[in-house]
Amino acid sequence: MGFDLSEISTEALGLMSLTWRPAPIDKPTAFEAMLEAIKINLPSKTFFNGGEFYGGDNINLEYIRDFFVKYPEQRANVIISIKGALDVATLTPEPTAEGINKSLDNVLKYIPDLDIFEPARLSPGVALSETAKALDDAIDSGKIKGYTLSEVNGTTLKEFSSIAKYKPVGVEVEFSIFTRDVLENGIAKTAGELDIPIIAYSPLSRGLLTGEIRAKSDVPEGDVRHHLERFSEDNIKKNVAIVDELVSLAKRKGVTPAQLALAWLRYHSGKTIDGIKYPTIVPIPSSSSAQRVDENFQKVSLTDDEFGEIANVITGKEVHGHRYNEKVAKYLSL
């Protein structure tokens, strides 16, 4: 295929928080954040990660379209990835040929030069071969340059890569200090073996690792996090005890808790740790202001000793509350 993510910076930008919230960020503020990310990363390209369902009425796609209408000269500096093939009303995956084509046709109305498409989830009721062929056909027809998968396990990633004409250019999974499923479900190991970058979403555990959420009242009314177990009043209080230890480490290092959490992820990139050879790790923190982009994109690194200190904090400690509700959880790690 010849298309991969080798040109992007490992400082990438998630666009979900711009629009999938009770009140979307206004476009001027959102565009400042997007432009700041591009400027920081030059001459490398910036990876923009958006979603067809990140808010109603295709608002996330609209923001991306309008950004490049305003800044057409920046298009060459960005790789755009959009996840879709999900029923917006029910949040049910639709990774069928029909579902993928319907979603892609809609996305292309807003972003006709789309780089990467990602079916938001696979489904137990849809054969991998059908999904793979639909994505292969989209590449062959010139609709997209490549595709990524999301929330699959190592066995599925290996099988999908073997039956598809084109290998995934990345695999998007939740990965953070608080969510380390990739170490248990084979994704980290398989992605490393196949040299497929891991795109780490929710790298700050939906804000918990910033140290700014200490009670349920710190989560805005109408925010989707109110529906997640991990954000119940009781679970937040339990998890803050771990966060406070990480905050202390961050203060000692002279960085913010968010910078420490992102540095922990980047530490894995390309290294062999506990017998697992990691591929490139690309965290995609969702930053809704230029100031937050500046914070998250600082190239903070960890020494081996600092990585060990974090390991001492988290090893043997339970993170309370599942990261998704029961309805969505059944489509994880397929």
Which residue has 């999938």 as its token pair?
20
- C-alpha closest to that of 123 among 134, 114, 137: 134
| Low-confidence winner among 39-43, 67-71, 180-184, 261-265 (lowest mean pLDDT) | 180-184
Instruction: With beta carbons less than 8 A apart as the criterion, state whether 23 and 294 touch.
Output: no
Entry field: residues in the chain? 334
Confidence of residue 334 (pLDDT cuts 50, 70, 90): very low
Section 172-200 average pLDDT:
93
Domains contained in the chain, CATH given: 13-329 (3.20.20.100)
Q: And the tokens for 17?
A: 């928080």
Rounded to two decimals, what is the model's pTM? 0.91
More confident residue, 166 or 328: 166
Q: Which one from 54, 147, 166, 267 is the annotated catalytic residue? A: 54
Share of the chain above pLDDT 90, in %: 75
Q: Is 324 a catalytic residue?
A: no
Q: How far apart are CA 255 and CA 211, in angstroms?
A: 12
d(CA 38, CA 117): 20
d(CA 79, CA 118): 13
Reported as a single tens digit per residue, the pLDDT across 209-256 is 998 888 888 887 777 777 788 888 889 899 999 999 999 999 999 999
Mean pLDDT over the full length of the chain: 92
